[in-house]
Amino acid sequence: MDDFLTDQQQAARVRGWVREYAPSAILAVAIGIGGYFGYTQWQVRQDRQAAEASELYEDFRAAIESDDRDSAGTLLESLVAEYEGSGYADHARLLMAKEYVDTTQPSRAEQELQAVIETTSNGDLRQLARLRLARVYLYMDRPEDGLETLDTDVYSPAWRQLTEDMRGDLHQALGQTEAARASYQAALEHSGQIDAAWIRLKLDHLAAVGADEAEAPAPDPADESTPAGEGQ
């Protein structure tokens, strides 16, 4: 029994254990230390890149706020080239798209929003970009493209109200009254950023339009008859 081993026997056993297991133990420690320092270096690199991206983004925002569009464009190119797919590049593109809309350049806004949709890893930003792109298409009198943009994603509950309301606007632009009404009704079933009273106002407008169309007099067949002398 181990409790009754002599000191000499115990020392011999320890030496045997060291000879057998020490190399593996040393290797495990070395790997552990190497992994720790490797992770630390990776974390430092990530922190440095995040700081650089943050600084670029703040410079970009400052350029936008001062209406220095040339500098803003250059800074955006740098952000995209070095940090595409990051939150900083995504937010910069969204902000640039808004700037293009404000300066009546919807085609360029379309390009920036499409880029966010295609490259972002953030589902919420992608859905926000789709909604804004649909609004841009409505502004460009391209409601069909707006509907197609919205129909190519599955929206989380947080975005359903905004999405259905946007669909209603697009259907209304196409003269699709029943589809617009269904979308606005769906929007009312979800809570969100839009006041329900505003959505009901849109529904009331649709009802008024429908009533006006129902009360419009039917065309007089006599007005559609062939004028005298025509066709002879």
How is residue 229 annotated by DSSP?
A: T
Give the start-to-end residue ranges of the domains of the chain: 24-153, 155-210
Q: Give the span between the Cα atoms of 4 and 212, in whole angstroms.
A: 106
Instruction: Supply 46's token pair.
Output: 């990530």
Encode the chain (232 residues) as per-residue pLDDT tens digits. 455 556 566 556 656 655 666 666 665 655 666 555 565 665 655 567 678 889 999 999 999 999 999 999 999 999 999 988 789 999 999 999 999 999 999 999 999 999 999 999 999 999 999 999 999 999 999 999 999 999 877 678 889 999 999 999 999 999 999 999 999 999 999 988 899 999 999 999 998 876 655 555 555 555 544 444 444 4
Alpha helices in the chain (DSSP H): 7-65, 69-83, 87-102, 106-119, 123-139, 143-150, 157-173, 177-188, 196-215
Compute CA 99 distance to the chain's CA centroid, rounded to the nearest angstrom: 17
What is the reported pLDDT for 86? 84
What is the reported pLDDT for 107? 97
Residue type, 95: L
Phi-psi region of 220 (alpha: psi -120 to 50; beta: other; left: phi over 0): beta
Q: Is the dihedral of CA 175, 178, 182, 188 positive or negative?
A: positive
Q: Count Cα neighbours of 56 within 13 Å in the Cβ-side half-sphere.
A: 26
Q: Give the span between the Cα atoms of 95 and 112, in whole angstroms.
A: 9
Quick count: other Cβ atoms within 10 Å of Cβ 10?
11
Helix (H, G, I), strand (E, B) or coil at 174: coil
Considering the domain delimited by 24-153, tell me its CATH architecture: Alpha Horseshoe (1.25)
What is the pTM (predicted TM-score) of this model? 0.72
Helix (H, G, I), strand (E, B) or coil at 191: coil
Quick count: other Cβ atoms within 10 Å of Cβ 109?
26
DSSP 14-66: HHHHHHHHHHHHHHHHHHHHHHHHHHHHHHHHHHHHHHHHHHHHHHHHHHHHT
How is residue 193 annotated by DSSP?
A: S
What is the reported pLDDT for 43? 62
| Tally of residues, the chain | 232
What is the reported pLDDT for 51? 84
Residue carrying the six token digits 């081993």: 5
Query: Are 78 and 63 a contacting pair, CB within 8 Å?
Result: no
